[in-house]
Amino acid sequence: MVTRTPARAQHLERQPQMQSSATLQRPSLFRRLLLTLEMIKFEHSVFALPFALTGALLAWREGGYSTQGLAWKLMWIVAAMVSARSVAMAFNRVLDASIDARNPRTRSRHIPAGLLSARFAWTFIALSAAVFIGAAAALNPLCLKLAPVALTIVCFYSWTKRFTASAHLVLGFSLGIAPAAAWIAMSGSLDARILWLTAAVTLWTAGFDIIYSCQDYEFDRREGLFSIPSRVGISGGLWIARAFHLGMIGCLIALALAMGLGWLAWLGVGLVAALLLWEHRLVKAGDLSRIDAAFFTMNGYISLAFFACWAAEILLFR
């Protein structure tokens, strides 16, 4: 005689096992944090951070401040910069999750792929915003007053591809405010000359974002999303990116002249120009296979080379 376990009893016997399996499959808090940093490309903070630090050092040079407390100020500027970027990137990933899920290039990103929940990303955004507000408060009262404005600017970009091809410039400005913000953090006020560096970073970022968005030319046109390549074609977009990067060099020249900087600063401008030229040689309208090298590698070199030369100029020949 074969005895059968009632269906409900079988379900109850399996339930703890199923719950245990689900618990094992859920990533730990530490693992989810690592996935979040991977999602927002945390290592790409290197793109804009050197320009922010340059803005801080220029304010330190012009203000004639002592070295006492400089490291402390720079630490809070780094904390503010990195946390603001973390807010912006995580917000972008949450807002664009449904779009990313439809795009073959981005459907493997963490939220559409189910590696992270939107709820966890929102928690990360809130904590990063709190760090940013805290860092702004530690710097000076004007930074604290402007902190909500800065967060609004860096988050606003994520909507712009839905209604304007100028989204690249909005992204550029989101990074471009970093040097001006660092100047304010160091001095408590704004000098109009640092806006040349804001303009330079804005044009630089917009240019390389145009190059990067060429990968989504077909998808953007199909989805009705706005980008310069989707409006003027890949070839036209690359020419506009070149014009923006030429404008960046012009802004850096104007800044070096306005600040009365010496040969090391001019060497930095020359290195940036050479690296930008090489970046554009890597990408052609008929061959986008080296976009990753142009976007990730070359732009990292550009920001670090610029900072190395300008920081050396400021610190050695103050």
Q: Are 95 and 225 in contact (CB under 8 A)?
A: no
- Per residue in 141-157, pLDDT (tens digit) is 999 999 999 999 999 99
Mean pLDDT of the chain: 91
Is the predicted pLDDT of residue 169 greater than 90, yes or no?
Answer: yes
Is the predicted pLDDT of residue 7 greater than 50, yes or no?
Answer: no
Q: Give me the mean pLDDT over the 271-300 stretch.
A: 92
Specify the pLDDT at position 210: 97
Q: Which tokens hold the place of 106?
A: 């981005």
Q: Give me the mean pLDDT over the 28-56 stretch.
A: 90
Spell out the residues 6+ positions from residue 8 whose beta carbon is closer than 8 angstroms to its own.
none
Is the predicted pLDDT of residue 268 greater than 80, yes or no?
Answer: yes
| Identity at 251, one-letter amino acid code | C
CB atoms within 10 A of CB 208: 27
Which domains does the chain possess? 28-316 (1.10.357.140)
Specify the pLDDT at position 255: 98
Terminal-to-terminal C-alpha distance of the chain = 96
Q: To 10 degrees, what angle do helices 228-259 and 263-282 make? A: 170
Q: Which residue has the higher pLDDT, 86 or 16?
A: 86
Instruction: Tell the residue number behind the tokens 């060429």, with chain if given.
Output: 214
Q: What band does 180 get if pLDDT is binned at 50, 70 and 90?
A: very high
Is the predicted pLDDT of residue 299 greater than 80, yes or no?
Answer: yes
Q: What band does 42 get if pLDDT is binned at 50, 70 and 90?
A: confident
Q: Give me the mean pLDDT over the 224-231 stretch.
A: 97
Q: What percentage of the chain exceeds 90 in pLDDT?
A: 82
Distance CA(303)–CA(46), nearest Å, equals 7
Is the predicted pLDDT of residue 130 greater than 70, yes or no?
Answer: yes
Is the predicted pLDDT of residue 23 greater than 80, yes or no?
Answer: no
Q: Give me the mean pLDDT over the 214-243 stretch.
A: 97
Question: Which range is least confidently modeled, 14-28, 51-65, 227-241?
Answer: 14-28
Specify the pLDDT at position 91: 97
Q: What band does 189 get if pLDDT is binned at 50, 70 and 90?
A: very high
Q: What is the 3-state secondary structure (H, E, C) of the chain?
A: CCCCCCHHHHHHHHHHHHHHHHHHHCCCHHHHHHHHHHHCCHHHHHCCHHHHHHHHHHHHHHHCCCCCCHHHHHHHHHHHHHHHHHHHHHHHHHHCHHHHHHCCCCCCCCCCCCCCCHHHHHHHHHHHHHHHHHHHHHHCHHHHHHHHHHHHHHHHHHHHCCCCCCHHHHHHHHHHHHHHHHHHHHHCCCCHHHHHHHHHHHHHHHHHHHHHHHHHHHHHHHHCCCCHHHHHHHHHHHHHHHHHHHHHHHHHHHHHHHHCCCHHHHHHHHHHHHHHHHHHHHCECCECCCHHHHHHHHHHHHHHHHHHHHHHHHHHCC
Q: Give me the mean pLDDT over the 93-121 stretch.
A: 95
Using alpha carbons only, give the angle 209, 193, 45 rounded to the nearest 5 degrees: 35
Q: Which tokens hold the place of 77?
A: 């500027």
Specify the pLDDT at position 294: 82
